[in-house]
Amino acid sequence: MVQFTNLDATEAYKKLLALAPHGKSFNFKQELQAERVKAYQVPMAGGLTYSYAAKAVDESILKVLQELADEQELVAKYKLLLDGEVMNTGEKRKVLHHLVRGQLGQKVLHEGKDLGAFYAQELQRFCAFAEKVHQGHYRGTKGTAFDTVVQIGIGGSDLGPRALYLALENWADRQGKRNMKAAFISNVDPDDGSQVLSGLNLESTLFVLVSKSGITQETLANELFVKAKLRAAGLDPAKHMVAVTSETSPLAHNSEYLDSFYIDDFIGGRYSSTSAVGGVILSLAFGPETFKAILSGAHEADTTALERDIRKNPALLDALIGVWERNMLDYPSTAILPYSQALSRFPAHLQQLDMESNGKRVNRFGEVLNYATGPVVFGEPGTNGQHSFYQLLHQGTDIVPLQFIGFAESQRKDDVEVDGSTSQNKLKANLIAQIVAFAKGKDDQNKNKEFPGGRPSSLIYGKTLTPEALGALLAHFENKVMFQGFIWNLNSFDQEGVQLGKVLTKQVLAKNSGDSALEAYAALLSI
Amino acid sequence: MVQFTNLDATEAYKKLLALAPHGKSFNFKQELQAERVKAYQVPMAGGLTYSYAAKAVDESILKVLQELADEQELVAKYKLLLDGEVMNTGEKRKVLHHLVRGQLGQKVLHEGKDLGAFYAQELQRFCAFAEKVHQGHYRGTKGTAFDTVVQIGIGGSDLGPRALYLALENWADRQGKRNMKAAFISNVDPDDGSQVLSGLNLESTLFVLVSKSGITQETLANELFVKAKLRAAGLDPAKHMVAVTSETSPLAHNSEYLDSFYIDDFIGGRYSSTSAVGGVILSLAFGPETFKAILSGAHEADTTALERDIRKNPALLDALIGVWERNMLDYPSTAILPYSQALSRFPAHLQQLDMESNGKRVNRFGEVLNYATGPVVFGEPGTNGQHSFYQLLHQGTDIVPLQFIGFAESQRKDDVEVDGSTSQNKLKANLIAQIVAFAKGKDDQNKNKEFPGGRPSSLIYGKTLTPEALGALLAHFENKVMFQGFIWNLNSFDQEGVQLGKVLTKQVLAKNSGDSALEAYAALLSI
């Protein structure tokens, strides 16, 4: 019987506290040598590798982290999740985003329905739909073939799919896999939808409306905004819009949409990129085979995450090192630094994934915790960040653990050689230089030019950013966040923190809040 | 004679420490009422207002913050800067970004040259150039009028100008002020430049090459990348590129450019948006009058920042409250949350502005400090963030101070009414609801649904996001960061933290680093 225990009630926690350096910097100047770089790496799915040579851990710490993994039964808890246990305890839901990528546990039944078969069927349906669109079977009101797809969704229905789309545009263009261009409308700010639509030919545009519940305020407002524009252009909205929703939502089985594709309550928003939520738009943009390659990379990562040995399970190891940094080194934030412009919005997706999953102060039983949980997550692509916030990362008063991502080759293979090196080689050289600079630092008599070092980072690297590598990268972080939630004894799959704002928003709009501050603020903004 | 003193050596610091609540939450449930909302606001430049009703300060704290402002002579130090004192002590440079917006101090001379007149002359020159481009006086190699401008630059030559461009696109389209569309190439990742160029007609594209030093590795690589593409398209690069640089740079006075516009070492990269660095592309995109309106808003904010009374000086007050939160409440990060999709990249600019300026562990004399300085800064637009990282902000174990920004009206005035309210009203209602939810929270027997509250925020609001409001917003944050640097006794105007990475990058590219870790990482990435 698996036990759910607070981190600070474990034996390993006490051992880790005893190992904590209490402000003393890890001696990277001495420790970070070629042998360590070669030894401290783990193969990942999708042809990627996780390198943790520049993380502030040694053999004694890694040993206790393995003990923590075993004591908290992290892999066993993951298996419970795969087998369809109700792991989202607050909302009493299963957690099944892994199942959309393939079957790793038992067959999962809900009210007699085989959910693995259901997800596979929906995958098959939206892939077939995408092919029919590409073949011109479906066309706009006036008979024009669709060349553009616009997703209407917010949060998990926007950040993940958008990050994946941007990550593969260059790959798809280079590989001849581009079928349609894509755009996204998310914000309830009317300038968002208005601006996106102003640049499009509506006649050749297909919209994907994504809301699991079917009642998301922003998404429904944007749906009606788009439909009004379609009608004003003499077009029939029912011929220009598909829905992605749950079968119990008000949007389901509705003739106002050209077709509908279904998920269910067991696919959380921030974990939904590999379901129909990401699958419809990505299959339309880059073809079903490309989307299936993302699923394949993710499924491989999910399989690797079953390994008990932390030295063979990069998601588990990454999770444990993150907890070491958060709870023993007291670092409150972490930065995601992809050296790949294609991953420009991947940090924004991981920000949601991590902060919405583990930004919790109560455990899965609703008891208030006495230790820090999820960190602040932020990031921008390198080398851009080097000319921006890296100053603080190198020489600020606080230490921020770093997560670098990089690739040997570019996606477009379109480069220039300047001063004896290509831009891709400059990109990689900068990445490597930063890892070593952060870890080792540099002494200087002039303290303003001194780099204290001791600033830990990991590196995920691969040959090139393909759909398989992207799927593996996505699933790596999903599984890392899941393992951290297990370590902290959280429910990583609900988001009660969004509810109060919704209630107060309705009060403001109804102008009868009874809260004088709400009314005073509303007066400031002339509502 | 103005004294430069560490924060922890001031009398006010001791008084503030004595007022620190040591983890006890500010009682917003009781204190945040309509009267406080009305009382705790300050008019800003550009028609904006700064509201600090939901910040965790009271009259006794504000009184000591005023004492701190006086004791640290913050306004006097600002005046020194305006008068051309060498305030960038490490690099022995004046700090003159305010002067590009107008004269507030004495005439500033350098080696006999009147720098105010020099900046005014360059402004006049690039405004005239933009008008000639718009009139078709300058044309592409084959005689086509320019309809697109692409900035090549990184860091301060990218983030600020890009944020301002995105902020005004909708305004310009609505107001008929759009002259050209714009794009940006920044990253040394070759996929960045290759992708941007693949979507353009080079014949009608003008490039603005921006590097103050003229030796920025990324920018020079991208320049040659672009020039090779121009030549391959049968175009003459000299007819398609202007330079923005300093007169002492290798790029200056070079016939390879159609024209060149100058700044100097006294305009720091992250403070250069209102110089030619931002001015050339913004004047080309939206016309010189629009750019001058940005300058006007910024100059008005600079003037307001001269006020000694913190209740009349929003930048000074914002700075002091930030120090209260950083040093007395021990909050290590802060979030920028614009409820305006047009400000989507404004947080990325402020991230550079703040973290590169004040992410320092030594004071202006090069002495290591014993207190926390610049925080981690991150942010995304609302309402998007509500469906993402707000979970942690509401219910996480750490408190993150917030900075909201919002407007009464949209830029495009293109809206839809759903369920009795426009999208713009929903946007504002969400903003107001969040401020109150963060501050007051909500009790609940179920701790998973409880909101602890006590999470402080400020609000900058205005009627609509015009060029004047945008300039005021930009200068507000520049001046806030400057005042915080004075409080912490930093040099906010250098960035020595970028140097070590540059040195190590060269070693990797030369393959003779002598550092086995560098070589081992290079082998991983197959350099």
For chain A, 527 residues long, give each residue's pLDDT as a single digit of tens: 899 999 999 999 999 999 999 889 999 999 999 999 999 999 999 999 999 999 999 999 999 999 999 999 999 999 999 999 999 999 999 999 999 999 999 999 999 999 999 999 999 999 999 999 999 999 999 999 999 999 999 999 999 999 999 999 999 999 999 999 999 999 999 999 999 999 999 999 999 999 999 999 999 999 999 999 999 999 999 999 999 999 999 999 999 999 999 999 999 999 999 999 999 999 999 999 999 999 999 999 999 999 999 999 999 999 999 999 999 999 999 999 999 999 999 999 999 999 999 999 999 999 999 999 999 999 999 999 999 999 999 999 999 999 999 999 999 999 999 999 999 999 999 999 999 999 999 999 999 999 999 999 999 999 999 999 999 999 999 999 999 999 999 999 999 999 999 999 999 999 877 899 999 999 999 88
Angle between helices B346-358 and B159-175 (to 10 degrees): 150
Question: Cβ contacts (< 8 Å) between B433 and chain A: which residues?
Answer: 500-505, 507-508, 518
Tell me if B214 is assigned to some domain. Answer: yes
B204 within 8 A of B223, measured Cβ to Cβ: no
Whole-number Å distance between alpha carbons of A157 and A159? 6
Whole-number Å distance between alpha carbons of B38 and B32? 10
Question: Cβ contacts (< 8 Å) between A209 and chain B: which residues?
Answer: none
- CA nearest to B353, candidates B292, B276, B268: B268
A270 and A173 in a common domain: yes
DSSP state of A85: -
- Are residues B423 and A516, on separate chains, in Cβ contact within 8 Å? no
A5 within 8 A of A489, measured Cβ to Cβ: yes
Q: Which one of B37, B152, B188 makes the best mutation probe of the A interface by having the most chain A beta carbons within 10 Å?
A: B188
- Are residues B432 and A499, on separate chains, in Cβ contact within 8 Å? no
- Are residues B437 and A504, on separate chains, in Cβ contact within 8 Å? yes
Instruction: Tell me if the bond preceding B383 is cis, omega within 30° of 0.
Output: yes
Q: Which one of A500, A502, A519 makes the best mutation probe of the B interface by having the most chain B beta carbons within 10 Å?
A: A500
Note down the domain range covering B149.
Answer: 97-292
B351 and B253 in a common domain: no
Q: Where are the alpha helices (DSSP H) in A72-109?
A: 74-82
Neighbours of A131 (CB within 10 A): 15
Tell me if A194 is assigned to some domain. Answer: yes
DSSP state of B43: E
Tell me if B91 is assigned to some domain. Answer: no
Structure tokens at A276: 């129909």
Tell me if A38 is assigned to some domain. Answer: yes
Terminal C-alpha separation, chain A: 55
Tell me which chain B residue has its CA closest to the CA of residue A416: B225
Whole-number Å distance between alpha carbons of A517 and B30? 11
Catalytic residue among B356, B440, B478, B480: B356
B324 and B451 in a common domain: yes
B349 as an active site residue: the answer is no
Tell me if B81 is assigned to some domain. Answer: no
Of the three residues B292, B320, B340, the one that is the final residue of a domain is: B292
B positions 151-190 inside 8 Å of A (CB): 154-156, 158-159, 169-170, 173, 186-190
List of residues 6+ apart from A28 with CB closer than 8 A = A54, A56, A439, A440, A441, A453, A454
Question: Cβ contacts (< 8 Å) between A220 and chain B: which residues?
Answer: 418
| Residue-level pLDDT at B53 | 98
Q: Over pLDDT 70: what percentage of chain B?
A: 100
- CA nearest to A258, candidates A281, A236, A226, A275: A236
Tell me if B89 is assigned to some domain. Answer: no
Whole-number Å distance between alpha carbons of A389 and A302? 33
Angle between helices A467-488 and A159-175 (to 10 degrees): 160
| Residue-level pLDDT at B105 | 95
- Are residues A397 and B371, on separate chains, in Cβ contact within 8 Å? yes
Average pLDDT of the residues of chain B: 97
Q: Over pLDDT 90: what percentage of chain B?
A: 98
- CA nearest to B332, candidates A304, A76, A401: A401
Tell me if A226 is assigned to some domain. Answer: yes
A130 and A182 in a common domain: yes
List of residues 6+ apart from B261 with CB closer than 8 A = B122, B125, B126, B129, B242, B243, B244, B276, B279, B280
DSSP state of A373: -
CB-facing half-sphere around the CA of B407: CA atoms within 13 A: 24
- How far CA A4 is from CA of A89, A491, B386, B445, in Å, comes to 12, 11, 30, 22
B116 and B62 in a common domain: no
Q: Is A113 helix (H, G, I), strand (E, B) or coil?
A: strand
B93 within 8 A of B493, measured Cβ to Cβ: yes
Alpha-carbon dihedral angle through residues A299, A155, B332, B404, given to the nearest 10 degrees:
170
| Residue-level pLDDT at B527 | 82
B272 and B197 in a common domain: yes
Q: Where are the alpha helices (DSSP H) in B324-466?
A: 346-358, 390-395, 423-440
Terminal C-alpha separation, chain B: 55
Tell me which chain B residue has its CA closest to the CA of residue A226: B416
Q: Is A139 helix (H, G, I), strand (E, B) or coil?
A: strand
| Residue-level pLDDT at A513 | 78
Specify the amino acid at residue A74: L
- Are residues A217 and B426, on separate chains, in Cβ contact within 8 Å? yes
A270 within 8 A of A228, measured Cβ to Cβ: no
| Residue-level pLDDT at B512 | 78
B473 and B445 in a common domain: yes
Whole-number Å distance between alpha carbons of B485 and B90? 14
Whole-number Å distance between alpha carbons of A3 and A508? 44
Of the three residues B263, B292, B321, the one that is the final residue of a domain is: B292
B186, B377, B500 ranked by CB distance to A451: nearest: B500
Specify the number of domains making up chain A.
2
The nearest CA of chain B is from the CA of A526 a distance in Å of: 6
Question: Cβ contacts (< 8 Å) between B155 and chain A: which residues?
Answer: 384, 386-388
A462 and A317 in a common domain: yes
* Residue B377 backbone dihedrals phi, psi, to 5 degrees: -120, 130
- How far CA A83 is from CA of A74, A306, B140, B441, in Å, comes to 14, 13, 64, 37
List of residues 6+ apart from A140 with CB closer than 8 A = A146, A202, A203, A204, A205, A206, A235, A239, A240
Tell me if B83 is assigned to some domain. Answer: no
Tell me which chain B residue has its CA closest to the CA of residue A442: B500
B16 within 8 A of B66, measured Cβ to Cβ: no
E strands, B123-253, where?
A: 148-152, 181-185, 205-210, 241-246
- Are residues B446 and A366, on separate chains, in Cβ contact within 8 Å? yes
Does the model's ipTM exceed the 0.85 cut? yes
List of residues 6+ apart from A24 with CB closer than 8 A = none
| Residue-level pLDDT at B331 | 98
Whole-number Å distance between alpha carbons of B522 and B500? 17
- Are residues A154 and B191, on separate chains, in Cβ contact within 8 Å? no
Specify the amino acid at residue A438: F
A428, A448, A500 ranked by CB distance to B451: nearest: A500
Burial of A176: CB neighbours in 10 Å, binned 0-12, 13-18, 19+: exposed
B268 and B219 in a common domain: yes
Question: Cβ contacts (< 8 Å) between A380 and chain B: which residues?
Answer: 348, 351
B positions 113-152 inside 8 Å of A (CB): none
| Residue-level pLDDT at A514 | 85
Question: Cβ contacts (< 8 Å) between B339 and chain A: which residues?
Answer: 189
Structure tokens at A180: 């349609």
B positions 488-507 inside 8 Å of A (CB): 491, 494-505, 507
B476 as an active site residue: the answer is no
A198, A362, A387 ranked by CB distance to B155: nearest: A387
Angle at A419 between CA A418 and CA A423, to 5 degrees: 40
Work out whether strand A241-246 and strand A41-43 pair parallel, antiparallel, or are unpaired: unpaired
Strand partners of residue A109: A114
Active site residues of A: 356, 387, 502
Tell me which chain B residue has its CA closest to the CA of residue A368: B447
Burial of A311: CB neighbours in 10 Å, binned 0-12, 13-18, 19+: middle
A positions 219-258 inside 8 Å of B (CB): 220-222, 224-225, 228
- The three-state (H, E, C) secondary structure of B429-463, written as one string: HHHHHHHHHHHHCECCCCHHHCECCCCCEEEEEEC
Of the three residues A292, A318, A336, the one that is the final residue of a domain is: A292
* Residue A25 backbone dihedrals phi, psi, to 5 degrees: -80, 140
The nearest CA of chain B is from the CA of A435 a distance in Å of: 9
Structure tokens at A312: 């063979």
pLDDT at B513 over 90: no
A11 within 8 A of A68, measured Cβ to Cβ: no
Specify the amino acid at residue A319: A
Residue B206, domain CATH: 3.40.50.10490
Angle at A462 between CA A461 and CA A463, to 5 degrees: 145
Whole-number Å distance between alpha carbons of B501 and B204? 37
Instruction: Tell me if the bond preceding B89 is cis, omega within 30° of 0.
Output: no
- How far CA A490 is from CA of A12, A272, B444, in Å, comes to 18, 20, 18
Strand partners of residue A425: none
Specify the amino acid at residue A340: S
Q: Is A512 helix (H, G, I), strand (E, B) or coil?
A: coil
Question: Cβ contacts (< 8 Å) between A171 and chain B: which residues?
Answer: none
* Residue B144 backbone dihedrals phi, psi, to 5 degrees: -80, 140
Catalytic residue among B22, B24, B92, B387: B387
Tell me which chain A residue has its CA closest to the CA of residue B38: A520
Whole-number Å distance between alpha carbons of B295 and B302? 10
B398 within 8 A of B384, measured Cβ to Cβ: no
Tell me which chain B residue has its CA closest to the CA of residue A331: B332
B517–A contact, CB cutoff 8 A? yes
The nearest CA of chain A is from the CA of B500 a distance in Å of: 6
Whole-number Å distance between alpha carbons of B379 and A507? 26
B110 and B166 in a common domain: yes
A114 and A30 in a common domain: no
B341 and B444 in a common domain: yes
